[in-house]
Amino acid sequence: MEQIVLGNSSRPARSVWTAMKRGALGRCPHCGEGKLFKSFVKTVDACSVCGEEIHHHRADDLPAYLVVVIVGHIVVGAFMGVEATSTLSTWQHLALWVPLTIILALAMLQPVKGAVVGLQWALYMHGFGGEADTVESHPEA
């Protein structure tokens, strides 16, 4: 198995794409069997199948930012295409694009968060490597 060297230790490489795909599908990034979420975007503390601890992940706001960027590109591109080829009124545009934006954002939030957790697991980030996260103090200005 390929080794990845981080700091002073040598660890087996974890497949980033496999872990992100498993996370996006709502499965444990380690085994791919256990559930990753216990509610809409609340992760389980540990995998019920393999026991991998998940509680220490630090997805924070990244999934929401990624969803805004992705949905924004989809909706703005589609809007521009529709606007260039049709003559919809302002109210028709609102009736079309507002619900579509909300539905896309809600549909994408859980898979994107799962992929971020899978990425962190694959790269041994935020406790997935066995070490506790350290908080560095910032010098006062």
Instruction: For residue range 105-133, list pLDDT tens digits in order.
Output: 999 999 999 999 999 999 888 777 766 66
Instruction: For residue range 60-87, list pLDDT tens digits in order.
Output: 899 999 999 999 999 999 999 999 999 9
* Rama region for 124: left / alpha / beta (φ>0; ψ in -120 to 50; rest): left
Instruction: For residue range 86-103, list pLDDT tens digits in order.
Output: 999 999 999 999 999 999
HSE on the CB side for 124, CA within 13 Å?
14
Portion of the chain with pLDDT greater than 90, in percent: 72
